[in-house]
């Protein structure tokens, strides 16, 4: 049976380089954000943690998307890093304070200076909390599988070496 990705040439087989381009682009954006505290003269030191977290999210999901299927351990490591980082971001949003600091800004994840017109609504906290639970749970299970040697996401049955 012919799949649509084989016809268009953007599958993981023939034309795999074209299929890896979006992931490679996301990885390069993430790598640029990760390096920003060292090469940017205008980036404030208070923004370093936020830029590093965003860089980790982009670089890890980009690496997961760009790596070929025949490297299941490296793909699983990138997936684990993405889920853990995104879960921490969601948890930080869930625990956003209800009231601003004395200067009118919010402190999210220990980083001060976030400006918002109003506090985060209760329903958005619930959604962020559910995403945090799911993402951090997936990261723990993926890390456990990585350590134990079981194949991760996108790996076939023959990829297990444990």
Q: Are 94 and 158 found together in one domain?
A: yes
Q: Which of 39, 68, 97 is the last residue of a domain?
A: 68
Q: Are 1 and 14 found together in one domain?
A: yes
Per-residue pLDDT tens digits for 96-153:
888 878 887 787 777 777 777 777 888 999 999 999 999 999 999 999 988 887 665 5
Q: Are 46 and 87 found together in one domain?
A: no
**Tally of structural domains, the chain:** 2
Answer yes or no: is pLDDT of 60 > 80: yes
pLDDT tier for residue 8 given thresholds of 50, 70 and 90: very low
What's the pLDDT score for residue 7? Answer: 42
The mean pLDDT value of the chain amounts to 80
> What is the pTM for the complete model shown?
0.74
What's the pLDDT score for residue 6? Answer: 45
Query: What kind and span of H or E run contains 111?
Result: strand 111-114
DSSP states along the chain: ---HHHHHT-SSSTTHHHHHHHHHHHHHHHHHHHHHHHH-SSS-GGGHHHHHHHHHHHHHHHHHHHS-TT-HHHHHHHHHHHHHHHHHHHHHHHT--SS--TTS-EEETTEEEE--SSPPPHHHHHHHHHHHHHHHHHHHHHHHHHHHT---TT--GGG---
What's the pLDDT score for residue 120? Answer: 82
What's the pLDDT score for residue 77? Answer: 92
Rounded Cα gap, residues 36 and 13, in angstroms: 35
Rounded Cα gap, residues 147 and 140, in angstroms: 11
Q: Are 153 and 77 found together in one domain?
A: yes
pLDDT tier for residue 70 given thresholds of 50, 70 and 90: confident
Q: Are 80 and 93 found together in one domain?
A: yes
What's the pLDDT score for residue 151? Answer: 61
Q: Are 145 and 85 found together in one domain?
A: yes
Full domain range(s) for residue 44:
1-68
Q: Which of 49, 68, 87 is the last residue of a domain?
A: 68
What's the pLDDT score for residue 156? Answer: 55
Q: Are 79 and 39 found together in one domain?
A: no
């Amino acid at each position: 049976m012919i799949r649509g990705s084989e016809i268009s040439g953007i599958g993981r087989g023939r034309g795999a380089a074209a299929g890896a381009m979006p992931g490679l682009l996301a990885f390069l954006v993430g790598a640029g954000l990760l390096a920003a505290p060292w090469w940017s003269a205008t980036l404030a030191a208070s923004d370093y943690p936020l830029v590093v977290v965003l860089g980790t999210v982009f670089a890890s999901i980009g690496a997961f998307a760009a790596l070929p299927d025949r490297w299941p351990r490296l793909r699983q490591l990138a997936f684990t890093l993405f889920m853990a980082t995104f879960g921490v971001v969601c948890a930080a949003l869930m625990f956003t304070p209800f009231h601003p600091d004395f200067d009118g800004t919010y402190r999210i994840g220990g980083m001060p200076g976030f400006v918002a017109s109003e506090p985060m609504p209760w329903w958005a906290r619930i959604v962020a909390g559910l995403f945090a639970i799911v993402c951090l749970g997936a990261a723990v299970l993926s890390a456990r599988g990585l350590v134990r040697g079981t194949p991760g996401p996108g790996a076939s049955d023959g990829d297990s070496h444990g």
